Amino acid sequence: MYNFTYHRAGSVDAAASRLAESGDAKLLAGGMTLLPTMKQRLAQPSELIDLNEIAGLNGITVSGGTVTIGAMTRHADVAASAEVKQAIPALAKLAGLIGDPAVRNRGTIGGSIANNDPAADYPAAVVGLGATVVTNKREIAGDGFFTGMFETALDEGEIVTAVRFPVPQKAAYFKFPNPASRYAVVGVMVAKTSGGIRVAVTGAAPCVFRQSDMESALSGNFSAAALSGITQDADGLNEDIHASAEYRASLVVVGAKRAVAEIA
């Protein structure tokens, strides 16, 4: 790891202004992606601004049909939360599938979505549940948050402070993990929300996407059978030594069917 200066932020505002002053600083959330990347010398920020000691940036509240999760909330806490399990069990399950227990004790939702790894799980939840991303500057609809591989709608220096999930009628998440890295080769979140059916797919493509053919089919008939005619186009899907694009395409359909079967 190259060296850097370390700054422990006391508040979001302080972190934001530090970020603005120092041209080449990065925010340190859980560190479960940033630190390994720095260890491999693929990133070398001149400064790290640590968000872990900012009071009030973590926490889960459920009220009025909304689950609000602070940006620094650990995956383990989302997975174990009785309120999340009660309100959106698919979300708790998804959080419990990220990494391993030790990684879940540090990794955060804010860090995950700000990074937007194509194989991460949370993007499927944010898009699949129609969540809203709250930052220190504004609110961004989940559908517009993830803009490309490792790219988000966040402006320079903008910091995620929370994610608000409307409680769906039903939702389910199916993940097919890479046997080596355990990241999502394909992850599918299916949700029946007040705004309609949502099917969000992560892992398969460079960025999370909504599967509109499936959403249409399920709108008419919310059952696994409704998906039997649907295929996922392999064009543009990720291809690597563990999974071809065709295989991923097939898993998208299988994943969606299984998720629907769980909750239909």
Query: CB 72 → another protein: shortest distance, Å?
Result: 13
Query: CB 222 → another protein: shortest distance, Å?
Result: 20
Query: CB 103 → another protein: shortest distance, Å?
Result: 6
Check binding of 254 to another protein (CB under 8 A): yes
User: Rounded CA gap, 137 and 157, in Å?
Assistant: 10
**Closer of 108 and 135 to another protein (Cβ):** 108
Check binding of 2 to another protein (CB under 8 A): yes
Query: CB 219 → another protein: shortest distance, Å?
Result: 24
Query: CB 106 → another protein: shortest distance, Å?
Result: 6
Check binding of 52 to another protein (CB under 8 A): yes
Among 15, 32, 71, 259, binds another protein (CB under 8 A): 32
**Closer of 71 and 249 to another protein (Cβ):** 249
Question: Of the ranges 18-26, 163-171, 175-183, 216-224, which one interacts with another protein (CB under 8 A)?
Answer: 175-183
The amino acid occupying position 251 is L
User: Rounded CA gap, 156 and 159, in Å?
Assistant: 9
Check binding of 224 to another protein (CB under 8 A): no
Check binding of 141 to another protein (CB under 8 A): no
Check binding of 223 to another protein (CB under 8 A): no
Quote the tokens at residue 183: 């990241």
Query: CB 73 → another protein: shortest distance, Å?
Result: 14
User: Rounded CA gap, 258 and 89, in Å?
Assistant: 16
Query: CB 187 → another protein: shortest distance, Å?
Result: 13
User: Rounded CA gap, 132 and 89, in Å?
Assistant: 18
**Residues 60-99 close enough to bind another protein by CB under 8 A:** 76, 80, 99
Which residue, chain included where needed, has tokens 């979505």? 113
**Closer of 101 and 144 to another protein (Cβ):** 101
Among 23, 64, 156, 241, binds another protein (CB under 8 A): 241
Quote the tokens at residue 220: 């008419």
**Residues 99-128 close enough to bind another protein by CB under 8 A:** 99-103, 105-106
To 10 degrees, the CA torsion angle through 159, 193, 95, 186?
A: -100
| Residue ranges binding another protein (CB under 8 A) | 1-6, 8, 31-32, 35-36, 38-40, 48, 50, 52-53, 76, 80, 99-103, 105-106, 176, 179-182, 241-244, 247, 250-251, 254
